[in-house]
Amino acid sequence: MFSKLAYAERRKNLAAALSGGLILLPGNEESPMNYADNTYHFRQDSNFLYYFGVDQASLTGVIDADTGESVLFGDDLTVEMIVWTGVLPSLTSLAEKVGVERVKPASELASFLSGALAAGRNIHYLNPYRSDIVLKISSWLGIKHQGMAESSSLELTKAVVGQREIKSKEEIDELDRAVEISADMHLAAMRFARPGMRESEVAAKVAEVALSANGNLAFPIIATIHGQTLHNHYHGNTIQSGDLFLLDAGAETENHYSGDLSSTFPVDRKFTQLQKEIYQLSLDAHLAAVSMLKPGTAFKEVHLTACRTIFEGLKAFGLTKGNADEALVAGAHALFFPCGTGHMMGLDVHDMENLGEQWVGYDGVPKSTQFGLKSLRLGKELRPGYVLTVEPGIYFIPELIDQWKSEGHLSQFLNYREIEKFKNFGGLRNEEDFVITQEGARRLGKALPLTVEGVEALRS
Ligand code: GLY
Ligand code: MN
């Protein structure tokens, strides 16, 4: 938890950014896994955490945008509950810690909101992502489930994005910590993985680091010999000599800030010659992207630089041909790099993604619909205080290659006869996290080895 002043300031600034009305911020409920009392690990809603700081289930925060006053709705534990859960701080003491003026029982929330509606007040809420919260908002405000996203407040969405996207000094400290732990997760895997192990053994080693730091995983671990599948969460393969291992994993700190790193290493002690060359090309794209990070540069340009590096570099392997600018406009690079170079990171690993990429990543400008570019989550101009990932990669996806080849898609830029030979190569990427500073950018956390020699040294 940050200081009382930090939360009070955030709520004051949010209230000031709105034209008036009430701001409704429901915290999360426990979420059942297979029966009501067997729940997933509790994760508080990030917007609630940002403005109200209290990491407990079944609370709702309301900020009056006209008066600036805040109310926390919830209930203290009964003695019968304490028998099972132990004592928790009283809501009054928690509210005091985050500078909230008033606490009210949860049972008063519905009438509080209906009274405000009857008085003609506007009630702003953010597009919910959990069905229990959809049901609650629906019953409180009389909005049909289907219309929930459309009636969510654009004014509130833009104000929250505007605040949360600029990280404060104390948030950057927390993100540094998250990335530091994330780097330890990767180092553990790079030292541990050996031929004959299952991917799940490596994944367990990685998870152990995050859990022993008293945090959690920021997202499900990707630990795979099939790095060409972008979000591959299957860990059942046995890793074998000759394979490349792709790890994409990050820690969430006790205070719920995320890290997100990717590394690729040979299952053997050394890369093969071809692996080394493709790895180096992906690393060149990564470093070219990193060198562009500074205020005023549009992240879309950073992405296109990574795409161009990959497209040009693959010419040496006989896979690509023709004018790179024209190829990029046509989207030919996306056969090998069908996703984006990075995304915002903060309390959420894809920070604020549920508030809409159009606002989080594009300042309201509609995003490209082209295959590849449509998966770039961040395109807008960088500003000091942004925290983001850089993660270009090279992927040989057999199904995509087959489809494009059968259509002769963009064959003026793609040499399918040679590409065919790479169908079993897999995929690779490196990922690091950066904060944009006044002058440029600073990598968060400690550096992972990136060079071929650096990675191989860890594997010996
Ligand atoms: N770390 C997973 C992703 O960025 O999508
Ligand atoms: Mn990422």
CATH number at residue 266: 3.90.230.10
Cα 350 to ligand 2 centre (Å) = 7
Is 315 found in the same domain as 441? Answer: yes
- In ligand 1, the atom with minimum distance to the C-alpha of 391 is 4
Of all atoms in ligand 1, which is nearest to the CA of residue 339? Answer: 5
Say how far apart CA 128 and CA 135 lie, in whole Å. 10
- Say which DSSP state 206 is in: H
Task: Based on the fold, state whether residues 229 and 333 are members of the same structural domain.
Answer: yes
CB atoms within 10 A of CB 288: 17
Same domain, 375 and 389: yes
Last residue of a domain, one of 134, 164, 194: 164
Q: State which of 182, 229, 231, 341 you would mutate to test the pocket of ligand 1, scoring each by most atoms of that ligand within 8 A of its C-beta.
A: 231
Number of domains in the chain: 2
Please give the Cα distance from 206 to 396 (Å, whole number).
26
Q: What is the pLDDT of residue 74?
A: 98
Question: What is the model's pLDDT at position 147?
Answer: 84
73 beta partners: 60, 104
Q: Measured between alpha carbons, how far is 440 from 296 in angstroms, rounded to an integer?
A: 10
User: Looking at the structure, do residues 156 and 245 belong to the same domain, yes or no?
Assistant: no
Contact 258, 346 (CB under 8 A): yes
Contact between 241 and 271 under an 8 Å Cβ cutoff? The reply is no
Residue of minimum CA distance from atom 2 in ligand 1:
248
Q: In terms of C-beta density within 10 A (0-12 exposed, 13-18 middle, 19 or more buried), how is residue 83 classed?
A: exposed
Residues 200 and 149 in one domain: no
**3-state helix, strand and coil shares in percent for the chain, rounded to the nearest 5:** 45, 15, 40
Minimum-distance ligand 1 atom for the alpha carbon of 260: 1
Cα gap 223→234, rounded to integer Å = 8
- Using a 10 angstrom Cβ sphere, with 0-12 exposed, 13-18 middle and 19 or more buried, the burial of residue 364 is exposed
316 with 199, same domain? yes
CA of 227 to the centre of ligand 2 (A): 14
Final residue in a domain of this structure, among 164, 188, 209: 164
Maximum distance among all Cα pairs of the chain, rounded to whole angstroms = 73
DSSP result, 401-424: HHHHHHHTTTTTTB-HHHHGGGTT
Taking the CA of residue 350 as reference, the ligand 1 atom at the shortest distance is: 4
Q: What is the DSSP letter of 107?
A: G
> Does ligand 1 come within 6 angstroms of the Cβ of 431?
no
| Of the candidates 162, 121, 147, the residue with the CA atom closest to the CA atom of residue 355 | 162
Residue 79's CATH number: 3.40.350.10
Give the N- to C-terminal CA distance of the chain in Å, as an integer: 41
- At 356-395, the pLDDT tens digits run 999 999 999 999 999 999 999 999 999 999 999 999 999 9
Give the separation between CA 200 and CA 105, rounded to whole angstroms.
Answer: 45
Same domain, 142 and 182: no
Nearest ligand, measured from the Cα of 353 = 1
With beta carbons less than 8 A apart as the criterion, state whether 75 and 106 touch.
Answer: yes
At residue 428, the 3 state secondary structure works out as strand
Residues of the chain falling short of pLDDT 70: none
What three-state secondary structure class fits 124?
A: strand
Question: According to the model, what pLDDT value does residue 460 have?
Answer: 85
How confident is the model at residue 88, as a pLDDT? 87
Q: Are residues 152 and 185 in the same domain?
A: no
Q: Are strands 70-73 and 102-104 parallel, antiparallel or unpaired?
A: parallel
What string of DSSP letters covers 375-406?
Answer: G-S--SBP-TT-EEEE--EEE--HHHHHHHHH
| Nearest in space to 316 (alpha carbons), one of 363, 270, 284 | 284
Q: Is 351 in the pocket of ligand 1 (CB under 6 A)?
A: no
E strand segments, 54-134? 60-64, 70-73, 102-104, 123-124
CB of residue 260 inside a 6 A radius of ligand 1 = yes
In short, whether 348's Cβ falls inside 6 Å of ligand 1 is: no
Residues 155 and 234 reside in one and the same domain: no
Residue found by looking up tokens 């309201």 in the block: 364
Does residue 219 line the site of ligand 1, with CB under 6 A? yes
Cβ-in-10-Å burial (0-12, 13-18, 19+) of 341 comes to: buried
Could you tell me if 271 and 361 lie in one domain? yes
- The amino acid that residue 216 corresponds to is N
The CA radius of gyration of the chain, in Å to the nearest whole number, is 24
AA identity, residue 192: F
- 212 and 241 in a single domain? The answer is yes
Ligand nearest to the backbone CA of 249? 1
**Residues facing 71 on adjacent strands:** 62, 102
Q: Cα(343) to centroid of ligand 1, in Å?
A: 8
- Starting at the earlier edge strand, list the strands of the sheet with 123-124: 102-104, 70-73, 60-64, 22-26, 123-124
Q: Looking at the CA of 217, name the nearest ligand.
A: 1
Nearest atom in ligand 1 to 250's CA: 1
- Do the beta carbons of residue 247 and residue 189 sit within 8 Å? yes
Please check whether residues 273 and 177 belong to one and the same domain.
Answer: yes
How many of the other CB atoms lie within 10 Å of CB of 265?
24
Distance 260 CA to ligand 1 centre (A): 7
The full DSSP string for 254-322 is TT--B--EEEEEESSSS--HHHHHHHHHHHHHHHHHHHT-STT-BHHHHHHHHHHHHHHHGGGGTSB-S
Residue 228's region, left for phi above 0, alpha for psi from -120 to 50, else beta, is alpha
The preferred substitution site among 186, 221, 341, 350 for testing ligand 1, maximizing ligand atoms within 8 Å of CB, is 350
**Which residue, 120, 139, 164, sits at the end of a domain?**
164
**CA–CA distance, 58 with 413 (Å, rounded to integer):** 55
Structure tokens at 201: 């053994």
> What distance in angstroms lies between residue 260's CA and the mean position of ligand 2's atoms?
5
Domain containing residue 239 = 169-459
* Average predicted confidence (pLDDT) for the chain: 97
**Do residues 82 and 33 lie in contact, with contact meaning Cβ atoms separated by under 8 Å?**
no
Nearest-atom number in ligand 1 for the CA of 248 is 1
> Distance (Å, rounded) from C-alpha 311 to C-alpha 76?
59
